Structure 1
Amino acid sequence: MSLLRAKIQDVFNEPACEQNRGKDAKARKKGCSKPLTPGAAAGGCAFDGAKIVLQPITDVAHLIHAPLACEGNSWDNRGAASSGPTLWRTSFTTDLTELDVVMGQGERKLFKAIREIKEAYGPPAIFVYPTCVTALIGDDIEAVCKRAAEKFGLPVVPVNAPGFVGSKNLGNKLAGQALLDHVIGTVEPDDAGPYDINILGEFNLSGEFWLVKPLLDRLGIRVRACIPGDARYLDVASAHRARAAMMVCSTALINLARKMEQRWDIPFFEGSFYGITDTSEALRQISQLLVKKGADPEMLGRTEALIADEEAIAWKKLAAYRPRLEGKRVLLNTGGVKSWSVVHALMEIGIKIVGTSVKKSTAGDKERIKQILKDDNHMFEQMTPRDLYAMLSEHKADIMLSGGRTQFIALKAKTPWLDINQERQHPYAGYDGMVELVRQIDLAIHNPIWRQVREPAPWDCQPAVREELPSTKSETATLHAVQEFAGTTADDFGEC
C-alpha cells in the first residue's frame, strides 16, 4: 500500500502539466481532480480509468482480481476497434467471494486464474487489476504477478489502480505508469527507423484512427505504437525506440509522454486529428519533430503537398453542406481534447458554438477555447440536466453534440442530438472524418422527424367546427361531457 501511495503522489506532482506547475507544494498533493461527493460515481473511479486506457491493447488478457460485480459488463468497454485480436473483449475475473475474503484465498485464486488463462489462451501478456476489495484486504498482487511471470514464462503486469484511490483521470495516469514500470522498454525491435512515431491517448473509437494512419503511411511514417488504440503488446513494449510522439489526450497520459521523453529522448507535442486545420497542423508537427531527430528534410515538402491535396478534396466535399449548415447553432456537452478541437472544426464551416463544456478539460484546453471563440462566455464548467433542457427547449441551439447519457434531455426538448463521445458509431478523425461529422450533423438537423414531433398532438387539436350546431340538449350535454373529460373547454382548443 505504501508503494501505491508513492505512485499516486508521483502522478499528482506532474511537471508537464501547466495547471500543476502553478500550484504550491501543498496543493499539488491534493491532485488535479475535484473532491468526490460520497456516493457519487464522479464520472468513473480509478479502476475504470486504468481499464479504459489499457483494455484496447487487443492481444492481452485483462484479468480483474475482484468480486464479479467489479468486472460488470466488460464487452466493448469503450467502443474501441481492433484490426485483429479480440481477446481484449473477453471478460476475465477471479470472481472473489465472501468466503475467499474471510479465508484469505485471494492470492491463491489469482495465481490459479493466471495459470488457466495461460493454458487456455496463450496470450503474450496478462494485465492484472485489483479493485477496492482486494486492495483493502491487502492482497499483494505485485508478488503474485512476479511469481506467475517466473513460473509461466510470460509477462504478468500488475496495474495498481483500485477504485477508491481517486477519479477516472487518476486511473488513466496510473495505467500509464504501469506501462512505464513493466512494459515499455522490455523488447528491443530489430527494425527501428528514423520515421517511427508513437501516438499517445488515441483510443481508435469506431476505428477513427484508421482514417489517419493512411495519411502517415503516404508520408512514410510508421506508427511504432498507438497507445492504446488497436495496440499489440509487443508494439507497446518496443515503443521506446520511436523518434517522436504525438499526444492526443493530455489529461490521460501526460505523465507517460513526459517520462518517455526523459528516459528515451522522445520529444512530443499535443495535437488533434479533429477538423481540417488541426489535422494538417498535426501532420506538420510530426514531420518537423522527425526532421529534428534526423529524418530527411525533404519530408517537410512532401507533407505540405499531401496537406494541400487532402484539404482541397475535403473542402470540395464540405462545400455542399455549407449552405445548409452555415449559421446553425451547436451546443457541445463533452470535455477533454474535444472541447476545443471539435469547436474549431465546426467553426471552419460556419457553424456557431453557443456553448461548450469544459468540465474535463485542462487549463490548456480552456485557453485554446478562449482563443478560438474570442471569449469565455460560451464555456461552462458544469451544466445540470435542468439547465441543458432549458437551453434546448428555448431553441437556443439547433443541435446538441454530447455523450449518450444526455441524449434523452435533447429528445425531451425535441432537439436533434448527435453522439460525439466514445459510444459513437461513426469515425470523425482526419479529413474524411470531418466530412462524415458534418454529414451526420446535416442528417440530424434536417431529419423530417423533428418537424413532426414539434407539431401539436392530435388530442390537443380541435377538428373543424361544423356549421350546424347541436340540435338537442342531449348532443350539447355530450359535447360538454367530452370536453370536461379531456380537462378542457371549448376556448382551449386551437387550430392545428
Structure 2
Amino acid sequence: MSLLRAEIQDVFNEPACEKNGGKDAKARKKGCSKPLTPGAAAGGCAFDGAKIVLQPITDVAHLVHAPLACEGNSWDNRGAASSGSTLWRTSFTTDLTELDVVMGQGERKLFEAIREIKEAYGPPAIFVYPTCVTALIGDDIEAVCKRAAEKFGLPVVPVNAPGFVGSKNLGNKLAGEALLEHVIGTVEPDDAGPCDINILGEFNLSGEFWLVKPLLDRLGIRVRACIPGDARYFDIACAHRARAAMMVCSTALINLARKMEQRWDIPFFEGSFYGITDTSEALRQISQLLVKKGADPEILGRTEALIAEEEAIAWKKLAAYQPRLEGKRVLLNTGGVKSWSVVHALMEIGIEIVGTSVKKSTVEDKERIKQILKDDNHILEQVAPRELYAMLSENKADIMLSGGRTQFVALKAKTPWLDINQERQHPYAGYDGMVELVRQIDLAIHNPIWRQVREPAPWDCQRAVREELPRMKSEIATLHVVQEFAGTTADDFGER
C-alpha cells in the first residue's frame, strides 16, 4: 500500500501540466483530482479509468481480481475497435466471495485464475487489476504476478489502481505508469526505422483511427504503437524505439508522454485529428518532429502534397452541406480534447457554436477554446441538465452534440441530438471523418421527425377545440347580431 501511495503522489506531481507547474511545491503534490465521495465512485473511480486505458489492448487477457460485481460487462468497452484479436472483449474475474475473503484465499485464487487463462487462451500477456476489496484486505498483487510470470513464462502485469484511490482521470495515469514500469521497453524490435511514431491517448473509437492511419502510411510513417487503440502487446513493448509521438488526449496520458521523452528521448506534441485544419496541422507537426530526429527532409514536401490533395477532396464533399448548415447553432456538451477540436472543426464550415462544456478540459484546452471562439461567454464550466434543457427548449441551439448521458435532455426538449462521445457509432477523425460528422449533423437537423414531434398531439388538439368551442359559439352569435343590424339607420333603431 505504501508503494501505491508513493506512485500516486508521483503521478500528482506532473511537470508537463502548466497549471500544476504554477503551484507551490505542497499544492503541486496534491494534483487536480478531487477525493471521491463514499458511495459515489460508480463509473468514475480509478479502477474504471485504468481499465478504460488498457482494455483496448486487444490480444491481452484483462483479469479483474475482485468480487464479480466489480467487473461488470466489458463487452464493447468505450466502443473501441480491433482489427484482430477479440480477447480483450472477454471478461475475466477471480469472482471473490465472502468466504474467500474471510479465509484469505484471494492470492491463491488469483494464481489459479492466471493459470487457467494461460492454458485456455495462451495470451501474450495478462493484466491484473486489483479493486477496492482486494486492496483493502491486503492481497500482494505484485508478488503473485511476479511468481505467475516466472511459473508460466509470460508477462503478468499488475495494474495498481483500486477504485478508492481517486478519480477516473487518476486511473488513466496509473495505467500509463503500469505500462512504463512493466511493458514499454521490455522487447527490442529488429525493424526500427527513422519514421516510427507513437500515437498516445487514441482509443480508435468506432474505428476512427483507421481513417488516419492510411494517411500516415502514404507518407511512409509507421505507427509503432497506438496506445491504446487497436494495440498489440508486442507493439507497446517496442514503443520505446519510436522517434516521435503525438498526444491526442493529454488529460489521460500526459505522464506517459513526458516520461517516454525523458527516458528514451521521444519528443511529443499535442494535436487533434478532428477537422480538416487540425488534421493537416497534426500531419505537419509529425513530419517536422521526425525530420528533427533525423528523418529525410523530403518527407515535408510529401506531407504538403498529401495535405493539398486531401483538403481539396474534403472541401469538395463539404460544399454540398454548407448551404444547408450555414448559420446553424450547435451546443457542445463534452470535454477534454473534443471541447476545442470539434469546435474548430465545426466553425470551419460556418456552424455557430452557442456553447461548449469544459468540465473535463485542461487549462491548455480552455486556452485553445478562447483563441478559437474569441469569446469567453460561450465557455460553459458546468452545465446542469436543467440548464441544458432550458437552453434547448428556448430554441437557443439547433442541435446538441454530447454523450449518451445527456441525450434524453435533448429528446425531452424536442431538439436534434448527435452522439460524439465514446458510444458513438460513426468515426469522425481525419478528412473523411470530418465529412461524416457534417453528414450526420445534417441528417439529424433536417430529419422530418423533429417537425412532427413539435406539433401538438391529436388529443391536445381535441382538448383545445373543446375548450375553445364556447368562446367560438359566442363570437359567432355576436357576428350574427352585427350582420342583422348592418346597414340600418338611426330611425330603424328607434322604431325597433
Q: TM range, normalised to the smaller chain?
A: over 0.9
Which stretch of structure 1 is more off in the superposition, 77-86 or 481-490? 481-490
Q: C-alpha distance in 2, partners of 1:494/1:277?
A: 85
Residue 171 of structure 1 is matched in structure 2 by 171
| Residues 489 and 45 of structure 1, relative CA distance in 2, 3 Å threshold | farther
How far residue 379 of structure 1 moved from its aligned partner, in angstroms, is: 0.8
Q: Deviations over 1:330-387 (max 9, x none)?
A: 0000000000000000000000000101000000000000000002111111101100
Q: C-alpha distance in 1, partners of 2:94/2:215?
A: 43
1:461–1:495 contact (8 Å) kept in structure 2 = no
Q: C-alpha distance in 2, partners of 1:456/1:99?
A: 60
1:461–1:493 contact (8 Å) kept in structure 2 = no
3-state DSSP class of the match of 2:78?
coil
2:34–2:166 contact (8 Å) kept in structure 1 = no
Q: Deviations over 1:266-315 (max 9, x none)?
A: 00000000000000000000000000001000100000000000000000
How far residue 468 of structure 1 moved from its aligned partner, in angstroms, is: 16
3-state DSSP class of the match of 1:29?
helix
Which stretch of structure 1 is more off in the superposition, 464-473 or 34-43? 464-473
Q: C-alpha distance in 1, partners of 2:488/2:209?
A: 57
Residue 465 of structure 1 is matched in structure 2 by 465
Q: Deviations over 1:204-226 (max 9, x none)?
A: 00000000000000000000000
How far residue 461 of structure 1 moved from its aligned partner, in angstroms, is: 1.2
How far residue 25 of structure 1 moved from its aligned partner, in angstroms, is: 1.6
Structure 1: gaps of 5 or more residues: none
1:403–1:419 contact (8 Å) kept in structure 2 = yes
Taking only the aligned residue pairs, the percentage that are identical comes to: 94
| Residues 104 and 437 of structure 1, relative CA distance in 2, 3 Å threshold | same
Q: 1:72-471 maps to which residues of 2 (within 5 A)? A: 72-462=72-462
| Residues 223 and 471 of structure 1, relative CA distance in 2, 3 Å threshold | closer
How far residue 23 of structure 1 moved from its aligned partner, in angstroms, is: 1.1
| Residues 394 and 483 of structure 1, relative CA distance in 2, 3 Å threshold | farther
How far residue 34 of structure 1 moved from its aligned partner, in angstroms, is: 3.2
How far residue 481 of structure 1 moved from its aligned partner, in angstroms, is: 29
Q: C-alpha distance in 2, partners of 1:470/1:461?
A: 16
Structure ranking higher in helix proportion: 2
Q: Deviations over 1:431-458 (max 9, x none)?
A: 0000000000000000000000000111
1:74–1:91 contact (8 Å) kept in structure 2 = yes
How far residue 31 of structure 1 moved from its aligned partner, in angstroms, is: 1.8
1:18–1:363 contact (8 Å) kept in structure 2 = yes
Which stretch of structure 1 is more off in the superposition, 454-463 or 302-311? 454-463
| Residues 320 and 488 of structure 1, relative CA distance in 2, 3 Å threshold | farther
1:462–1:493 contact (8 Å) kept in structure 2 = no
TM-score by length of 1: 0.93
Residue 478 of structure 1 is matched in structure 2 by 478
How far residue 60 of structure 1 moved from its aligned partner, in angstroms, is: 0.1
2:246–2:268 contact (8 Å) kept in structure 1 = yes
How far residue 30 of structure 1 moved from its aligned partner, in angstroms, is: 2.1
3-state DSSP class of the match of 1:184?
coil
How far residue 33 of structure 1 moved from its aligned partner, in angstroms, is: 2.0
2:36–2:164 contact (8 Å) kept in structure 1 = no
| Residues 205 and 481 of structure 1, relative CA distance in 2, 3 Å threshold | farther
Task: Flag the structure with larger Rg.
Answer: 2
Q: C-alpha distance in 2, partners of 1:81/1:326?
A: 33
| Residues 464 and 107 of structure 1, relative CA distance in 2, 3 Å threshold | closer
3-state DSSP class of the match of 2:306?
helix
| Residues 491 and 130 of structure 1, relative CA distance in 2, 3 Å threshold | farther
2:35–2:166 contact (8 Å) kept in structure 1 = no
3-state DSSP class of the match of 1:331?
strand
| Residues 98 and 441 of structure 1, relative CA distance in 2, 3 Å threshold | same
| Residues 294 and 481 of structure 1, relative CA distance in 2, 3 Å threshold | farther
Q: C-alpha distance in 2, partners of 1:285/1:151?
A: 45
1:42–1:167 contact (8 Å) kept in structure 2 = no
How far residue 28 of structure 1 moved from its aligned partner, in angstroms, is: 1.8
How far residue 75 of structure 1 moved from its aligned partner, in angstroms, is: 0.8
3-state DSSP class of the match of 2:85?
coil
Q: Deviations over 1:110-137 (max 9, x none)?
A: 0000000000000000000000000000
